[in-house]
Amino acid sequence: MDIQIEHECSQCGGKKVLSEATRFFSCSYCGVGSFILPDRISRLFIPPVIPSSDESSHLLVPYLRFKGTVFTVSSRGIAHRVVDTTQTAATMPSEIPPSLGVRPQAMKLQRAASNHRFSYLPKTIKNKVIFDKVINISNLINEDELYHLSYIGENISLIYLPLVSDGNVVRDAVTDRLICDHSKMEEALSLGAADSFKSGWQLDYLPSICPHCGWSLEGEGDGVAFICQNCDRAWELTRDGMVKIKWQMVDGGIQAHCYLPFWLINEAIPELNIISFADFITCVNLPMIPKQEWHQRDMSFWVPAFKISPKSFLRAGKQATVNQWKIEPGKGKKLSGFYPATLPSSEGIQAVKAILAKTTASPKKVFPFLPRIKMKSRGATLVYLPFFDKGHDWLQPETGIVIGKNNLRFGRSM
């Protein structure tokens, strides 16, 4: 479930509630559009209700929130799970809840900012330890031999739970529930002193203008790639700012009412002797006879650039990759019906191994090689494919990809 964050415009201070996936927003007070750079981990807190005599005596306990899809490839096959959890990120007395449960979804959170004088407990547990716990909880790995594990489309943030000291005891500063004796908290504090707000925690913003021509860039709030209406250049919002990306499209004519974005990732896999598309078809043992020209066609993987259920994600990636020879993308030109790219290209590259695993008809020939494959791809091309309206579904005629409209809606909240 999505988290709602009370956001303050960096230009005019106007308040607006944003979803945690928001990367682009336009302020309804001053009209200024901004991008939120994705590099830093968001630091959010549940606003305290119980006042403290001195604000700095509100003690904020960190929880790591992980929301995303975990894919595994093991001797048992391919498995996936959508995970949405919070786990304590500091060594705490046992009375402190190990997870925040549904509390972050039940109320509007606020971003840590310099005007709050809270004491933030430091995060003392490494992400890796927390992720391993997430994997254990989701029951994805048993005794099987694990060949591959990836987190796709994940959203990671720190959410703080406010506590308040009240004489010799510590209370939950939202529910006023008694947590533990102050002495127990002192032990936890001895592991790392509490911090006040650090300037490095501040989010970075960029004005939403095309870096090439200065035209105002428009798009959906959860988009990660934007096309300039004026100069037709495409940009991806990355931790280094707006990066120019290559983009193409297949014009679907008047029948195409929706264009869905895919990342086209050129990737040879020498570990499996895959250089050309013909090598790929032979390696994954599909019942197709490679055409002569496929030997000259560089291998590329096609990964959905939007979030949908993991099952449909793998299936769409497989169908686009296997049927790529039927599509000839040309120069991109912005049309209506473009669906926003909501999955960054770096995540698309991380999904290649899972899509390779999904495609193969000979798991024993491919799966054991997955750990050895080194991904070399440094970039991806954004390609929009045309989809036709089939009532409850969108259909891509050349590749046969069918995507439920409900599934796309679900993907926006993933």
In the bound state with Zn ion, the residue whose beta carbon lies nearer, of 210 and 356, is 210
Strands (E) located in 187-293: 205-207, 225-227, 234-238, 241-245, 247-249, 256-266
- For residues 177 and 163, the answer to whether their CB atoms sit within 8 Å is no
In the bound state with Zn ion, the residue whose beta carbon lies nearer, of 11 and 377, is 11
In the bound state with Zn ion, the residue whose beta carbon lies nearer, of 28 and 183, is 28
Q: How far is the CB of 8 from Zn ion (least distance, A)?
A: 9
Q: How far is the CB of 329 from Zn ion (least distance, A)?
A: 21
397 binds Zn ion per the rule CB under 5 A: no
Q: How far is the CB of 7 from Zn ion (least distance, A)?
A: 10
Residue from 174, 228, 284, 383 binding Zn ion (CB under 5 A): 228
Residue 135, both tokens:
């994997």
Region binding Zn ion by CB under 5 A among candidate stretches 104-112, 139-147, 215-223, 279-287: 215-223
Write out the binding residues for Zn ion, residues 61-80 only, by CB under 5 A. none
361 binds Zn ion per the rule CB under 5 A: no
What is the rounded radius of gyration, in angstroms, for the C-alpha atoms of the chain?
24
Q: How far is the CB of 24 from Zn ion (least distance, A)?
A: 14
- For residues 337 and 256, the answer to whether their CB atoms sit within 8 Å is yes
| Binding track over 8-47 against Zn ion, x by CB under 5 A | -x-xx-x------------x-xx-----------------
In the bound state with Zn ion, the residue whose beta carbon lies nearer, of 105 and 216, is 216
215 binds Zn ion per the rule CB under 5 A: yes
- Ordered DSSP codes for 230-253: TT--EEEEETTEEEEE-EEE---G
Q: How far is the CB of 18 from Zn ion (least distance, A)?
A: 13
In the bound state with Zn ion, the residue whose beta carbon lies nearer, of 29 and 177, is 29
In the bound state with Zn ion, the residue whose beta carbon lies nearer, of 60 and 234, is 234
SS3 assignment, position 105? helix
* CA 22 – CA 242 distance, rounded (Å): 16
Residue from 178, 191, 231, 361 binding Zn ion (CB under 5 A): 231
Q: According to DSSP H, which parts of 214-335 are helical?
A: 277-283, 310-322
* CA 306 – CA 347 distance, rounded (Å): 10
Write out the binding residues for Zn ion, residues 126-165 only, by CB under 5 A. none
Write out the binding residues for Zn ion, residues 181-210 only, by CB under 5 A. 210
Q: How far is the CB of 54 from Zn ion (least distance, A)?
A: 31
Q: Which residues of 97-117 are buried (b: 16+ CB within 10 A; e: fewer)?
A: beebeebbeeeebbbbeeebe
Residue 285, both tokens:
């043992």
Write out the binding residues for Zn ion, residues 77-106 only, by CB under 5 A. none
Q: Judging by DSSP bridges, how do beta strands 109-111 and 4-8 pair with one another?
A: parallel
Q: How far is the CB of 31 from Zn ion (least distance, A)?
A: 7
The amino acid occupying position 65 is R
Region binding Zn ion by CB under 5 A among candidate stretches 109-117, 142-150, 228-236, 315-323: 228-236
Q: How far is the CB of 6 from Zn ion (least distance, A)?
A: 14
Looking at beta carbons, which pairs linking 177-185 to residues 24 or more positions away fall under 8 Å? 179/93, 179/95, 179/96, 180/93, 180/95, 180/96, 184/93, 184/95, 185/59, 185/93
The residue among 113, 108, 107, 120 whose CA lies nearest residue 10 is 113
CA-CA distances (angstroms) from residue 230 to 23, 26, 119, 215?
21, 19, 48, 6
- For residues 400 and 289, the answer to whether their CB atoms sit within 8 Å is no
Q: How far is the CB of 303 from Zn ion (least distance, A)?
A: 26
In the bound state with Zn ion, the residue whose beta carbon lies nearer, of 204 and 271, is 204
Q: How far is the CB of 17 from Zn ion (least distance, A)?
A: 14
In the bound state with Zn ion, the residue whose beta carbon lies nearer, of 106 and 231, is 231
Q: How many residues bind Zn ion (CB under 5 A)?
A: 14
What residue ranges bind Zn ion (CB under 5 A)? 9, 11-12, 14, 27, 29-30, 210, 212-213, 215, 228, 230-231
